[in-house]
Amino acid sequence: MAKTHKSKHNKKRNTAFLYEVLIQDITRSVVSGDQSRKKVALGICKEFFSKGTILNAEKELYASLTECSGLEDHTVEKVLAEAKKEYAALDKKEIFNMQTKMINKVNKELSPGVFNNFVSNYKNLATIAQILSQDLPVKQRVILESSFVESTSLISESANTILEPTDNLVYKTFVKNYNKKYEDRLLEEQKEVITRYATSFSDNGLSLKIYLNEEFGRLRGVLEKSLQHEIIKEDENMLLKTHEVLDILGSFGKAPGFDEDIIIQILEIQNLAKEMIS
C-alpha cells in the first residue's frame, strides 16, 4: 500500500509537471538563443502535447482545476466533478505509455536534468493528481477534495499565487533558477511574450496574437506620449527614432505571424517603453 501511495507522487508520472518542465526548457532556449535545443524541445512538446494527444487531454484537466482560483465553492465543486468524470474516461495505460515514451525522449535528446527544473506549484499539481486518480480511500479523498475546494476559493482573497493557469507558470522561478544573467533584465511583459511564444504551437499562436494586439496598443500609447517629452522634442534624432519605432509597431500589427526575429524586436521595444516610463 505504501509503495502504491508513493507512486502517486512520482513527478515523472504527473503530466502537468512534465509539460511545465518541458516548457521551461523551451523558454530557456529561446532566451539564451540556443536554437538547436529549442528545436528539439519544441518538437517533443508538439509531439506529446498537441491537440488530440492524450497527454494534452490530461493536461487540460489539470488546467481546468488550476484555473478555478477565486470561484465560488459550488462552481469549483462542479468543475471538480466534471474533471474527475472526464479523467475516468481516459485510457490510463496509454497515458502511462506516452509518458514513458516522452521521458525516454527527453533523457536521450535533451538531458535528465530537465526533470530537475523547479515548478513552483508542484505541490498543487500533486494534489490534483491524487484527486483525479481517485486511488485514495474514501475518507482521505473527501478530505483532500474539500481542502482543495476551500483553498482554491480563498486564493483570490489572499495572495492569489498558489494555483495559477498552467500556461502562466513558466517564468515564476525560471529566471531566478536557470538564467541568472537575465534576472534583472527581463520585465514581466517580456516574460509573458516569451512564454506565449514558446507555447504558441498549442493554439496556432492565437493566445500570442491576442496578447500582442493588446501589448502593441500599450506600447504605442507609451511611445506617443513620450513624443511630448521635452528631452525628445528637442532631440531631432530621438524624435526620428521614436517615430521609426512607432512605424515598426504598426507593421507588426499587420504581420501574419511572429517569428523569433520579431519577438526579439518586441522585447527591445518593451525595454524602450520601460525606460520612457521610468
Does residue 223 share a domain with residue 170?
no
Does residue 110 share a domain with residue 11?
yes
What's the confidence (pLDDT) of residue 278?
66
Does residue 144 share a domain with residue 216?
no
What's the confidence (pLDDT) of residue 9?
60
Does residue 128 sit within a domain?
yes
Number of compact structural domains in the chain: 2
Does residue 93 share a domain with residue 36?
yes
Tell me, rounded to whole angstroms, the distance of Cα 16 from its chain centroid: 11
DSSP state of 117: S
> What average pLDDT does the segment 170-182 reach?
41
| Grid cell digits, residue 45 | 512538446
Check pLDDT > 90 for residue 191: no
CA distance 161 to 121: 9
Does residue 238 share a domain with residue 140?
no
48 within 8 A of 55, measured Cβ to Cβ:
yes
Does residue 196 sit within a domain?
no
Does residue 240 share a domain with residue 115?
no
Domain ends where: 115, 145, 179? 179
Does residue 190 sit within a domain?
no
CA distance 250 to 244: 10
Q: Rounded to two decimals, what is the model's pTM?
A: 0.60
Does residue 148 share a domain with residue 44?
yes
Does residue 213 share a domain with residue 170?
no
Q: Per residue in 89-104, is it b (16+ CB within 10 Å) or e — as a string?
A: eeeeeebeebbeebbe
Does residue 140 share a domain with residue 29?
yes
Does residue 194 sit within a domain?
no
Instruction: Look up the domain containing 72 and give its range.
Output: 2-179
Highest-scoring range by mean pLDDT, 13-22, 49-58, 98-107, 245-254: 98-107
pLDDT tens-digit readout, 133-170: 877 788 887 888 888 888 776 544 433 333 333 333 33
Does residue 171 share a domain with residue 74?
yes
pLDDT tens-digit readout, 8-55: 468 888 999 999 888 888 877 776 778 898 889 888 988 998 888 999
Does residue 127 share a domain with residue 213?
no
Does residue 126 sit within a domain?
yes
Does residue 30 sit within a domain?
yes
Check pLDDT > 50 for residue 174: no
Higher-confidence position of 125 and 166: 125
Domain ends where: 135, 164, 179? 179
Domain ends where: 179, 196, 213? 179
Check pLDDT > 90 for residue 98: yes
Within 8 A by CB and 6+ apart from 183, the residues are 175, 176
Check pLDDT > 70 for residue 205: yes
> Residue 179 — very low, low, confident or very high, per pLDDT cuts 50/70/90?
very low
